[in-house]
């Protein structure tokens, strides 16, 4: 049994007690017997809300992305389709890390080294939280102790270099699928991750779900509970399809409840907004959204990013491949319907 909580500030405890639709923390932070505590740390210091920490940053385009390789393979025989695929290949995308990384410190270090040597700022996604995706199409994740070690090595891979880190998509919005004890363990792991990543140069954004999932007040309470004060902000619409304007309004409503924290928006597939039934698993008729940029024209929106790689499957629904697998036909449709 985990025997000791991470320290949480009094203000956080008060705000947590006021949260709606989220279980309050239990007296134990454990998630079952046989687990040792991840190293206890003092509560991370708040990050002041100032300007955009990535304003003007160059974002890196992967010359060997799936979209680039597909476009090149089509160029001679399918030139029109190759040109559409170039719409994806020519734009920067985030790099995701999870349990598939054999050596997470090495892999993060290699990615950061490649991007920073090109004069750009890396955008990385940490996606390995225990009980990930509530056992659904992106199920997986580490054990509790495994995650503590994994995120520590992830942070060490940054080695003090500036990088945007999107921390655990869906983890807070999906809290309700967990027991009260497991909720608290997840919260503590996220708090721990923020501390380690910030200490190694990470610009950390906690996942804030999307506008059609939780109310702004509910999502704000979840972010407060995870100590968003110690992060650089939060991120919206990861792997979803909500219009940018909808996400801006939703994000500002959350921001106003958590001290004016800034946020990012995933615009990778929101060019035509959500599907009529708000389907999330490879819905038909969607399109690429606005190009990634740190020049958003809004003082609380730090960047539009392509966090979900356009063309990677959301999961094995219908004829789709498993989550994260490159699906050229879907990518082509996104590009064909895009205004880019």
Catalytic sites, residue numbers: 133, 170, 314
Beta-bridge partners for 255: none
Coil, strand or helix at 287? strand
For the chain, strand residue ranges (E) read: 95-97, 123-126, 163-167, 202-207, 233-236, 262-266, 301-305
Chain centre to alpha carbon of residue 332 = 24
Chain centre to alpha carbon of residue 194 = 13
Residues 270, 272, 278: CA angle, nearest 5 degrees = 75
Chain centre to alpha carbon of residue 238 = 6
Taking every pair of C-alpha atoms in the chain, what is the biggest distance, in angstroms? 64
Kindly state the helix (H) or strand (E) to which residue 4 belongs, with its residue range.
none
Q: Which of 268, 266, 263, 267 is nearest to 301 (CA)?
A: 263
Dihedral sign, CA of 289, 173, 250, 193?
negative
């Amino acid at each position: 049994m985990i025997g000791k909580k991470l320290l949480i500030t009094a203000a956080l405890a008060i705000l947590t007690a006021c949260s709606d639709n989220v279980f309050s923390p239990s007296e134990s932070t454990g998630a079952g017997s046989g687990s040792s505590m991840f190293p206890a740390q003092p509560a991370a210091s708040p990050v002041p809300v100032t300007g955009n920490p990535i304003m003007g940053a160059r974002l890196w385009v992967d010359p060997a992305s799936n979209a680039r390789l597909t476009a090149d393979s089509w160029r001679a025989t399918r030139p029109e389709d190759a040109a559409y695929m170039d719409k994806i290949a020519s734009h920067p995308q985030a790099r995701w890390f999870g349990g598939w990384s054999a050596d997470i410190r090495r892999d993060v270090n290699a990615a950061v080294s490649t991007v920073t040597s090109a004069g750009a700022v890396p955008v990385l996604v940490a996606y390995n939280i225990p009980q990930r995706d509530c056992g659904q199409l992106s199920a997986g994740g580490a054990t509790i102790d495994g995650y503590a070690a994994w995120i520590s090595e992830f942070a060490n891979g940054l080695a003090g270099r500036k990088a945007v880190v999107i921390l655990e998509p869906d983890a807070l919005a999906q809290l309700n699928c967990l027991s009260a004890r497991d909720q608290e363990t997840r919260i503590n792991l996220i708090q721990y991750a923020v501390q380690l990543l910030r200490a190694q140069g990470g610009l950390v954004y906690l996942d804030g779900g999307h506008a059609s999932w939780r109310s702004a007040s509910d999502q704000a309470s979840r972010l407060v509970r995870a100590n968003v004060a110690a992060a650089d902000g939060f991120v919206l619409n990861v792997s979803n399809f909500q219009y940018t304007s909808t996400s801006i309004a939703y994000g500002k409503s959350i921001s106003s409840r958590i001290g004016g924290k800034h946020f990012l928006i995933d615009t990778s597939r929101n060019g035509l907004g959500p599907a009529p039934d708000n389907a999330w698993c490879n819905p038909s008729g969607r399109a690429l959204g606005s190009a990634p940029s740190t020049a958003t024209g809004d003082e609380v929106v730090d960047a539009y990013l392509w966090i979900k790689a356009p063309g990677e499957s959301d999961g094995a629904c219908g004829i789709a491949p498993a989550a994260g697998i490159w699906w050229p036909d879907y990518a082509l449709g996104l590009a064909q319907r895009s205004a880019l």
